[in-house]
Amino acid sequence: MYLGEANRKYLEYYGVPKERLYPAIYCVDNQYFQTQYEKLYPFRESIRKSFGIFNHFPVILFCGRLVEMKCPFLLLDAFQLLVKEFPCYLLVVGDGPLRKKWKKKLQRIK
């Protein structure tokens, strides 16, 4: 079973025959996230403050690898336009080969 195109290509590269490959469907355990929400909600303000967020503006979360395929610089450009009209924050959780380039762009923006 493979998750995503890159994983399928990886398995094919190492000799797994196509007829033995099956896609695994991405799914979300909604009950788990509801339980976590209920457990963590009382700590909402302190969690926001730990990220330097001291008001009630919305937070946009990007959680993923910083790679070209996910277009993180397009996200940053869109965020720069959005924040001019609608005060909010962008929280990025992830790492990848574009991390250094991402940090340099952030420094130029500030």
Residue 103 to residues 73, 81, 98, 99, Cα–Cα distance (Å): 11, 19, 9, 6
The whole-number pLDDT of residue 28 equals 85
Quick check: 88 and 82 in contact, CB under 8 A?
yes
How does residue 81 score in pLDDT terms, banded at 50, 70 and 90?
Answer: very high
Tens of pLDDT, residue by residue over 17-75, are: 999 999 998 788 999 999 999 999 999 999 999 999 999 999 999 999 999 989 999 99
- Determine if the pTM surpasses 0.85: no
Question: Using CA atoms in the order 60, 64, 70, 73, what is the torsion angle rounded to 10 degrees?
Answer: 50
